[in-house]
Every structure is written in C-alpha cells, then in structure tokens.
Amino acid sequence: MLKRPKIICPFEVLIWRWGMLLAVFLVVAGCELIGPDFQKPDSETEPGWLDRKDGRISQRGSDHRNWWKTFTDPVLDQLIQTAYRQNLSLRESGLRILEARAQLGVAVGDFYPQKQDLSGFTDYIKLPSGALSELLPNKAGGLPPFWWSRMGISASWELDIWGKFRRAIEAADAQMLATIAAYDAAIVTLTADVATTYIRIRTLEKKLDIARSNVQAQLNNLRIADAKFRGGSSSRRDVEQARTVLGGTQASIPALDSQLRQAKNALSVLLGQPPGDLDKPLGLGQRYAQIPAPPVQVAVGIPLDLLRRRPDIREAEYQAQMQSAQIGIAKAQLYPALSLSGSFSFVSSTANGMSLGDMFQWGNQFYRFGPAVQWNIFNYGQITNQVRSNDALFQSKLVNYQNVVLNAQREVEDGLIAFLKAQDSAEYLAQSTAAAKRSLELATLQYKEGIADFTTVLTAEQSLLSQQDNFASVLGDIATGLVSVYRGLGGGWQIREGQAFVPEPIKAAMAKRTDWGDLLSSTPVPEGPAKGTVRMPDW
C-alpha cells in the first residue's frame, strides 16, 4: 500500500530556507579574514628628557587635563572655556565625527543583504498576432489586450566569506576613531593657541605701559634740558637730543598698538566671534593685567607617556589601522564572490478569463532562490596592483606614525629648553633693569647739578627702555615656553569628556533637516578600534 506523501506548507519551506541563511551567516561571520591583522607599530622613544636633571623638571606623571590652571589666571581659565564652547574650527571637527559615524553605519549595512526591495507593477499588454501565431499555434486568432500585474520582494546577498565587508567595517571604525583623535588634537591646539595669544596680549600691554611711562620720564627730562638751555647753562643740542629720544619712544607706541589690536583680533576668532571689544573678557575693565606667571617647576612625565596621551599619535595609529584593513578589502577581490539571491511575488493577469483581483491567491505565487558565483579572473593584474598600492600606503602610514612620535618628543624638548632658558634670561634681565633704573636716576640728578652732561642722561634713558622692554618680552617667553611644553605633552583635550561633540543648537538644526536617529544624542567613544567586528546596522 502506497503511503500518502507528506504535504509541506510553503511557509515551512521558507522557514527552512531562512534557517539555512542564518546558518550561512553564522559560518561566514566566523570565517578568517583575508589580509593582515593590524598590530600597533613600534616607535622609538628616549627613557627621559634631555634636561631631566634640571631641578625645575619633574618626571612625575600627570595627564595635564587642566594645565592652564597652573598660571592661576581666572581670565585665562574663562577664555579657554569660552573658546571650547564657541570655536568654529572645533565645531567643524565635531561634525566630522558624526560624518564618520554615519559612514560606519554604511559599512555595517554592507555586511547584510546588499539588495532588498519591494516592487510591483501593472502593465497593459497587446501582443502582435503574427508573432503570437508562431508562439501559440492554437491562438492563431490572437489574444485580446490584457493586464499583467506582479508584486513581491527580492533580495541579493554577497556572502562575506573572505572578510571584505568585515574589513570595511574595521576600516570605517578606525576612521571614526581617527576623527575623534583629530577632534582631541584640535582641542590641544585650540587651548594652546588661546593661552599663547592671551600671553602675547598681556606682554604687549606691558610693553605699552613701559613705553608710555618712559615717554613721561623723557618729557620731564626734555623740560629740564629746555629750562637749562633758556637759562644759558646748556646748549640747544641737549634739547634736540632729548626730542630725538622722545620721538623714537613715542613712535614705538603706534606699532605696539597695532600688534595688540591684531592679537586681540586673533583671540576673537579663537573665541568664535567677530573682532570686537575684548575689554570685558580680558579683565572686566582693567586697563592692564600682569603677564601670566608660570610655576617654577613643571611635571612632564617621561617620553613614553606621549604614546597614550597625545591625540595626534592616536590619530596616526588609527589611520594606519584603517589602511591595513584596506589591504584585506583589496585582497578579497582576488577570490570568487558567492552570492545568494531570491524573490517571492504574486502575479495575476486578465488573460484567459482571470482577474487582477486574483493576485493574492496562494496559487498565484512565484518564487525563486539560488546561489551565484562571480570571479574576476581576467583583471590584467589590476587587483594585484591595487593590493600592492594599498600595502605601500599602509607602510607609509607606519612611517608617518613613527615620524609623529619623533616630532612629539621634539616639540616637548623645544618647549622645555625655551622655558628653562627664558627663566635664566629673566634673572639677568631683572638685575640689569634694576641697574638701568638706578643709573638713569643718578644721571638725571647729576645733570641737574651740572656734574654730568645730557648725553649721559640720554644713554641711561635708552638703556632703561631697552632693558624694561626685553624683560617684559622674556617674561612672556617663559609663559609661552611652558604653553609649548603642555602643547607638546598633548594635554587639555580631556575638557571634552562627558560633553557632546556638537552643540545643541546645531544638533537641533540637523535633526530638523535630517532623520539622524539616536546618533546625535549618543555618539559613542569606543575604547579602541575593532577588528572585523560584525554589528547590527543603524536602521
């Protein structure tokens, strides 16, 4: 007796087939990836700084997250906070992070079925009778025009057997981390630029104060020379020499005013605002403030600390990893690509007495499913040379990483020697300035009493102005040198921890213009780059 065959429901067939697809997915996700696995490049660092034996240098570790507070200047603290909130270049860097995050979503989506669509159509068809008689001899009279409709879904999935798409995820992930590191590097540059510009402003203000004080002193000596000339106790030459020195000092003031205005304009741009009046942010109406005084000793850690602190070194590392993944993407093109494709739809027609309304009857289903292989075997060496090109570029990224590490050490060393030697110069200039002031006082007194000629007074005036100006400059150099040290150490970027990369008004404008999902509200900051990680896509 024959057994009745088991009737299999089409839904069971679909479930079985999609189960097979899931199994294939899991197998592919666990496959070994083509191409090199990235390893952090080696770099050469010294065990200590050149001036580590100097008592003003401490190799005690520090992250320097708020290094500007070592100047104990509340105005500088406020300027840096304002620049962090408002600087436009920094905002642009933050938007690049959102761009990279979206590109990572594109790369993740490519790992899944690359084509999936819902389509439908309705055609009104008339077949020519001549052609129909050859195709359908029983319909020699021809078919009347009819409607033909179809609606269904289709999908095509290139399986990631060789890791091409997972390497693309790795590359996009490293690129996103590189943009975050670039953002941090922009903060390091911004905070250092604000501090350097602020120090320059205070130095120029001090020089203006010195120049104006000397003008008053020289005017007084001119009155003395003129009085003695009118009294007949000196020659007119003394008067003209006094006017010559006074004119030279007065001429320096407009040049200093010009430099001060330009420095304030530069600070305005760093603060993200048009050039304007900065009297209030620079000191609440104070005409002059002191040049920021740095501490005598600075903690710099050891050169090896730079590798984990400086954002530009991290950026160079992530750029190298991104390029390493590109080698795997290119190599995967050398191997055959296996794809699965299929479609399921309902069809209907008005031919032979049928109706379009019969479309969704189960008997009118149409489906197909099957694998496909594509292998670009005749590429004339193009793919191989593309792999070579990516490998050469990867090697250049490794060299660039090593170069960035070397330059980071050089920047710290340059800042340290400038800081230390400016302190040494300041000690001598403090002494020479005090001596020049006493010399002018004595020369003026002796001239009044007729013991010394006016040339001695003029020489003392010029010497005092020069020493005071140089002393103000070197005080600014000490502070600027310390800023250069902190810039080289890569401190300050931690100010963004717990903060959004893009301010709320810009996020609100972007959300109104485009559907960003939750990317605007929660931009992740991964601990480190992924390696071929498969993630769920951002729908």
Arithmetic mean of pLDDT, 382-408: 94
Mean pLDDT within 218-246: 87
- For the ranges 98-102, 131-135, 329-333, 440-444, the lowest mean pLDDT is seen at 131-135
3-state secondary structure 457-479: HHHHHHHHHHHHHHHHHHHHHHH
- Overall average pLDDT of the 3-8 stretch: 41
Give CATH superfamily name and number for 117-159+337-374.
Answer: Outer membrane efflux proteins (OEP) (2.20.200.10)
pLDDT of 288? 54
Whole-number Å distance between alpha carbons of 213 and 218: 9
The pLDDT tens digits for 49-70 are 888 888 888 877 777 889 999 9
Average model confidence (pLDDT) for the chain?
Answer: 85
Distance, CA of 189 to CA of 93 (rounded, Å): 12
Model pLDDT, residue 401? 95
Is 301 in a helix, a strand, or coil?
Answer: coil
**Least confident stretch, 78-92, 140-154, 225-239, 519-533:** 519-533
Question: Would you say residue 538 has pLDDT above 50?
Answer: yes
Rounded CA-CA distance 219/234 in Å is: 17
Residue 6 has pLDDT above 50, yes or no: no
Residue 48: its pLDDT value, please?
84
Q: pLDDT grade, residue 312 (50/70/90)? A: very high
The domains of the chain are located at 10-37+51-111+162-222+248-336+391-513, 117-159+337-374
- For residue 158, which of 31, 341, 331 has the smallest C-alpha distance? 341
pLDDT band at 379 (very low <50, low <70, confident <90, very high): confident
287-301, 375-389, 525-539: which is most confident:
375-389
* Phi, psi of 270, deg, nearest 5: -60, -30
pLDDT of residue 524: 58
pLDDT > 70: what percent of the chain?
Answer: 86
What's residue 277's pLDDT?
82
Give residue 264's pLDDT band: very low, low, confident or very high (50, 70, 90). Answer: very high
User: Residue 190 above 90 pLDDT?
Assistant: yes
Q: How much is the average pLDDT of 491-501?
A: 90
* CATH class for the region spanning 10-37+51-111+162-222+248-336+391-513: mainly alpha
**Confidence band, pLDDT 50/70/90 cuts, at residue 3:** very low
Residue 179 confidence (pLDDT) above 90: yes
DSSP 308-377: HH-HHHHHHHHHHHHHHHHHHHHHHTTSPEEEEEEEEEEEEESGGG--GGGTTSGGGEEEEEEEEEE---
pLDDT of residue 31: 67
Residue 7 vs residue 490, higher pLDDT: 490
Least confident of 142-151, 418-427, 438-447, 473-482: 142-151
φ, ψ for residue 81, nearest 5 deg: -65, -40
pLDDT at residue 230, rounded to an integer:
85
**Whole-number Å distance between alpha carbons of 81 and 83:** 5
Q: Can you spell out the DSSP letters for 43-68?
A: ----SS-TTTTSTTEE------TTGG
Opening angle at CA 181, ends 178 and 184, nearest 5: 155
pLDDT-based confidence at 137, cuts 50/70/90? low
Confidence of residue 132 (pLDDT cuts 50, 70, 90): low
Beta-bridged to residue 298, according to DSSP, are 57
In degrees and rounded to multiples of 5, residue 411 shows phi and psi of -65, -40
pLDDT bracket for residue 10 (50, 70, 90) = very low
Structure-model confidence comparison of residues 535 and 486, the more confident one: 486
Lowest mean pLDDT, pick from 153-162, 230-239, 426-435: 230-239
Give the pLDDT confidence score for residue 212 in this predicted structure: 93
Question: Could you tell me the pLDDT band of residue 1, with boundaries at 50, 70 and 90?
Answer: very low
Does 202 have pLDDT greater than 60?
yes
Place of tokens 């920021």: 292
Contact 364, 348 (CB under 8 A): yes
Q: Which of 108, 115, 105, 113 is nearest to 24 (CA)?
A: 113
Whole-Å CA distances, 307 to 28, 41, 218, 486: 36, 11, 55, 15
Taking alpha carbons only, the member of 464, 377, 385, 392 closest to residue 429 is 464
